[in-house]
Chain A
Amino acid sequence: MIGGILQQLVDGLTIGVVYVLLAAGLSVIFGVMHVINFAHGELFALGAYFALALIAPFGGTAFFAALFVAPLLVGIIGVAIERFTVRPLYGRNPLYHILLTFGLVLVINDLIYLIWEPGNVNLPTPAILSGTIDVVGLNASVYNVFVIVFGAAMALSVWAMLEHTKYGLIIRAGSQDRQMVRNLGIDIDRYYSLVFGMGAALAAVAGIILGGYQTVSPEMGMSVIIPAFVIVVLGGLGSFKGAVAGGLLVGIIQTLLRTYAPILEGTVIFLLMIGILLVRPRGLFGVEMEEEGGELLTGSGGVLDDRTRKWVGLAAVGLLALLPLGAGTFYSTYTVTLAIEILVWALFALSLDFVMGYTGLVSLGHALFYGLGAYAVAIALLHVSQSAFVAIGLAIVISAAIAWVVGYLSIRVSGVYFAMITLGFAELFYNMLYRLEITGGSEGLFGISTYYGIAGVGIALDEIGLFLGPVTLTGQSLFYYIALAALIGSFLLTRRMLNSPFGSVLKSIRENEQRATFLGYETTRYKRRAFVVSGALAGLAGGLFTLNSGYAAPSFAYWLHSGEVIVMVILGGMGTLYGPIVGATVFFGLEEILTGFTPRWRLVLGTIFLLFVIFLPRGLVSLPARLKPLVTRDSGPGAEPAPDDSHMRGDD
């Protein structure tokens, strides 16, 4: 028994060391540049794949050479990433770095798929590292010992470099007060590339040694990035000590849980992170840091005047209302199915915009509420009532209630920590979905039917046929109208709220929270309310999806979903309400078109998204205003639409 635990500890320590190397880079990058690097996991995977390619021609003995060369290559890629994508965004809100690196995840991950085969591959290790040795009476595998010793040496040398060299001194000073370092005449910006490259190289080392321990697969980056964030956040963003302590802690806890309490694996580390953040909002070893300002760039819709805008809106709704009528004649009925998905995601994106674009709360875990709505509907239909109204009602109420709780706990921390804690809650929920019986485990819940009515009186959509002259509206088409009504209703509701005193306080919080406080507003309370509204609408979106599709799966709450919905909001233009709707449409439209050409559509989408974040952060809806000067120059004053509307935002 004791031997078993010791064996577990060695395994835990091995994983822990990998986490330490991963988290150290993440943490230092954040500490110095305030960049949350989501792509860190992909750099980690890239390290393993480069090593694989380097070792392949020579066999296991080339492992040590690869351990040196692959991180170097990844480091160079890291420098390039910093130089060409991250650098243009300094000075903007840290949110944009999260978005940018999320786009990089999509791109790098698809590149890995494109170049290497999907599936698990073994990374050959040299013979010298195989077998077992006795360490203080314990029969440990040589590779484990190698990982622990080598990893510890790496971590130590990085620590020594940070602590005892001039280079390290400047980095540490920069993480304390960047402006001060600049004032001393040191060009700290030059060091940024190096720090980023160094972090990337460390991630690559971690990827290689984990690859040799387990296997190499394209998903390996995705699976480590969230635990790595948990480590960095609970250790304290920017703290090297925190990364080391957190990494070992999480590695050991995870390994022990896997053996002794598998039901808790995947949930405990998130509970740990949330708990620590609530007690110590800066993490275990975190220090007060300068708050990063930089405004959120909201979309400005300013080329249309009020009346035109109204007519454009009505025309859009009119066209949308006609869409199902042409299905089966002008285009396939699949179009309606796709349109429903777009409407549901548009509603989801709209709900996120309400907190992100108007209140400045960047929720990285909004899929939590979408998933919650979906599962609430599924469980209600299976166990409570088959009425769609009851199920949707429950979905909204439950999502709102959970949003209140999550909001209550999360809004105490701000900025990046808020983003991370919401991510933590979402991942907690995601992992619970897998393990609970009522949610159907990894398969989810499916085969759910419903009727539209209450207390047993009502009708299923499949049983209805509406005959309108030459066209017949049935099941899917009717649901399309329900989804459309939900979207329009939510749009009007949120717009109304944003024009009320409540809404104007939300906007003031986004613009300048400190000032709002000193106007006498309890900003926390307002943010929490906004979060509840948003959570309820996201729940409605998820609920609608399940109502129509008849299933709910854990993937609904996966962090990539949270990321995708942010992509839609930014793509369209946040802080406009209609921008996210445009964004969702374009997102699915692109996916639809691109999947026709390549299964690696995320590569193209990710690239487009990257370009948006860098060059058009206000989204598609700002494009007309951007292009206006170019157009009016040619067409003369006659074509110039309402010039003094340029200050108008989408929220008029």
Chain B
Amino acid sequence: MSKYSRRDFLRKASVLAAAGTLPISLVEVAFGESHPKNFTFAFISDSHITQTKGNNFVENWDRGLRRSVAECNLLDPRPDFIIYGGDIAQLGKPEEIDHGLDILAGLRGDVRYVMGEHDYYLDLGSHWRKRLGPERYSFDHKDVHFVVLNSILTYPEWTHKQWDGGMQRMLQMARLDNPHGSPFMVGDEQRQWLQADLAKIDKATPVVVFSHSPIQKIYKGWNFWTDDAEQVQALLKPFDKATVIYGHVHQIQYNQIDNISFHAVMATAWPWPYPSTYKQAESHLAKLTVPMNRADPFFERDATGWQFIDMHSGNVDLRYVLPGNTSRRVAFDEEAGRPMDTRYQGAMARIPPRNHY
């Protein structure tokens, strides 16, 4: 073995070893055991690439995104496609979006993108659109109908206030706990588009919606919230199986509202505390969510990650591989009719957690 190939081998070996301990979420849409239409896709989200000066960017966030790309490329079998769940950038700057897309260009496979508020509020999405195309669209894959929404719009009075430039508006929206922020929404126009899009789809076809914000109301103070969530849910109600997968919250969440399953994904950048840890306000995280452990700040990748998703029986089976913690798998439980952690759902089955408080 030559010096160079040995070094190359060692590098590859260490990447493989790391992959086993990293935050990976894989989504499986399944139609039953070994059904030919079962497939997987991967989901990466919330990288918050931050330009500090010129060609310099916050290294921590770059590392999170690079790691997810490297691990995603090791998935075998290959996922059918990859979804990026929004917030490539921290302040929506072209330099940040371009730098994030340069890193994401290393992904093997087709990537589809969701608009996040950090990509949008500087220039109302114009650079993002220039690079990636429209922010709402649908596509069909192996008998599943997928819809991508821009769910981070807000009231036009807020968006078009007399701002002192786009950056001021961006900074206001970038502050999660901003008392002068404005709630996210899909909006009338986009809901009409969604209604028309779904009208063409057979009600037995599984529908999967990708949005940046949760299409449910968890905590308004941090925009873990979509103001017209109920109206969007009503459009999904006629379907036998519907799933919403969203970013923004940087933590494990899952829920079931009637026929709709909800799953949040991890961020590659940093984790957020659960809203229940803020004692001055009430919040409504779904009771069935088994929370992720409180992150160890001394380990910069703790409680960050990405996911791979199995689709089977038209339902989503979402896997999180978490550094320094046992992997988690949240799958649709046919009997219970809702997503469940396949290992830790029961109170007695849980390991002593590092609680959020």
> Are A and B bound to each other?
no
Which residues from chain B sit less than 8 Å from chain A, CB to CB? none
Which residues from chain A sit less than 8 Å from chain B, CB to CB? none
